[in-house]
Structure 1
Amino acid sequence: MASTAAVIGSTGLVGNVILSTALGLDAFKTVYTISRRAPKPESPKLAATLETDTTKWTSNLSSITPPPSTVFSALGTTRVAAGGIANQWKVDHDLNVELAKAARAAGVKTFVFVSSGGTRAFPSSNLPYSKMKVGVEDSIKSLDFSQAIILRPGIILGHRDVPHQGGPLLIGLIHGLGKISQGWQDKWGAEAEVIGRAAVHASVLAAEGKAPSNYWILEQADIIRLGRDEWKA
């Protein structure tokens, strides 16, 4: 039976893939988005809400009736784009937590969050970025969704409209490793397409009762497996 989904962060690198993938599957009859600018994919199944004021996003999500079965969040920004760590925290941490709480209160069954790999390891666990991601993960776990799925990818590979500082050099290095050995690239990074597909694939498996637990963490190897090796369009 087809279900409904909502994608937050749908105009970002991974969120765009999640949206286009969900729209292309019969598993979803309607896909909602809430974003500041229009998402790129077009489909009769797409119900897009444009809202430049992000403080209204939680109420926008809560007002979807009936609530979507699954909410995907690939929401995130950078320190430079946000204008500092404090502003980045408001998006990467605070807004994600607020959205998760709103989803839980509305009766959403499955919440999927694109986090980041290595955030709990020393010494990176002390970095503000890691604390943001860990804080969101812990909040989602405490909300006790029927199904929560956390993706922890390595370096996200793909073309960004606004490159991250130092990003092109790092991505070039990882792609170079991939030319030597695909396994080396898989250890350190994954294409945005693979990550997005893994998020959707995992949600479909969960809907079929095939998730290994109600709090399912996908590390880098799991993302590669679900988003590329076992992916069937």
Structure 2
Amino acid sequence: MTSNACVIGCTGLVGHQILKTLLNLDACETVSTISRRAPKTGSSPKLNAVIETDTTKWVSRFAALSPIPTTVYSALGTTRAQAGGIQNQWKIDHDLNVELAKAAHAAGTQTFVFVSSTGTRGLLSNVAPYSKMKIGVEDTIKSLGFKQAIILRPGFLMGERDVAHTGGPFLEKVFRGMKTYLGQGAQDTFAQEDEVVARAAVKAAIQASEGKAPSNYWVLEQRDIVRLGRDEWKA
């Protein structure tokens, strides 16, 4: 089990849920976070919340964590609008994730879990900036040779965001309508709840620690996320 964990992107939609899930697990002894603002979960005796507004210092702050996290979860990401342009988004979604993955490997982290996105390897992936960012991080994690690497590729993420994405509320309404009129399976094909994705990330890490991962580089597509995070999840 992931007794000492670290969550990067803990104030975001999925990262917040990963943190909340870990804090509620008896087997998880400590959870560190590095973020620009305090986590929404509030205080906990398990929580070591590092607040650092300067993201260029996150790698050094990670290296200073004690104990060294055995498992690192990264749900770090932003939008082009929030970042102020594609170049600034690249610095967060790609560069910072890559730097943190390298720092985690160098520190001795055993398992690295990265929340990517569905369609990153699609037909237009080599020209779409968003896909190129995700591919770059995925490929770096794979090349580092962690004892266990886990990549999640969810569809549209549903949940309560602090800042709504452009078109997000409309799309969420559409996907929730699918469940109402066509059933849960129709919604699962395109979108997943933030809590389901978070639980799948934690469940996969638990299974990996028990030697149940299918490989040391495990990619979870949408159907796998739904299975682990909802159908097979036990609190």
**C-alpha distance in 2, partners of 1:101/1:124?**
24
**Which residue does the alignment assign to 2:213?**
211
Residue 3 of structure 2 is matched in structure 1 by: 3
Q: Partner amino acid for 2:176?
A: H
The one of 184, 193, 202 aligned to 2:186? 184
Aligned length: 233
SS class of match (2:189): helix
Q: For each residue in 1:186-230, what CA deviation from the matched residue of structure 2 results, as whole angstroms up to 9, or x when unmatched?
A: 000000000001001111111111111100000000000000000
Select the residue among 209, 218, 225 that pairs with 1:223: 225
Instruction: Answer whether contact 2:76 2:97 (CA < 8 A) is retained.
Output: yes
Query: Equivalent residues in 2 for 1:14-163 (5 A)?
Result: 14-41=14-41, 42-163=43-164
Inter-partner Cα distance in structure 1 for 2:63 and 2:125: 34
- What is the letter of the counterpart of residue 188 of structure 2? D
Structure 1 stretch 134-143 or stretch 202-211: which is displaced more?
202-211
Aligned mates of 1:151, 1:27 — CA distance in 2 = 22
SS of alignment partner, residue 164 of structure 2: coil
Paired residue type of 1:176: G
Letter in 2 for 1:205: Q
Between the aligned partners of 1:55 and 1:38, the Cα distance in structure 2 is 18
Answer whether contact 1:2 1:26 (CA < 8 A) is retained: no
RMSD: 1.0
SS in 2 for 1:134: helix
Counterparts of 1:27 and 1:203, CA distance in 2: 12
Return the TM-score normalized by structure 1.
0.98
CA-to-aligned-CA distance 1:134-166 (integer Å, 9 cap, x gap): 110000000000000000000001111100011
- 8 Å Cα contact 2:2/2:70 also seen in 1: no
Q: Between the two proteins, what is the percent identity of the paired residues?
A: 67
Please report how far the alpha carbon of residue 63 of structure 1 lies from its aligned counterpart in structure 2 after TM superposition: 1.0
TM-score by length of 2: 0.97
Distance of 2:219 and 2:162 partners within structure 1? 29
Q: Where in structure 2 are there 5+ consecutive unaligned residues?
A: none
For 1:31 and 1:98, locate their aligned partners in 2 and report how far apart those are by CA, in whole Å: 20
1:2 Cα deviation after fit: 6.4
Aligned to 1:40, what secondary structure does the other structure show? coil
Aligned to 2:201: 199
Counterpart-to-counterpart distance in 2, 1:11 and 1:207: 26
Q: Is the 8 A contact 1:27 1:204 kept in 2?
A: no
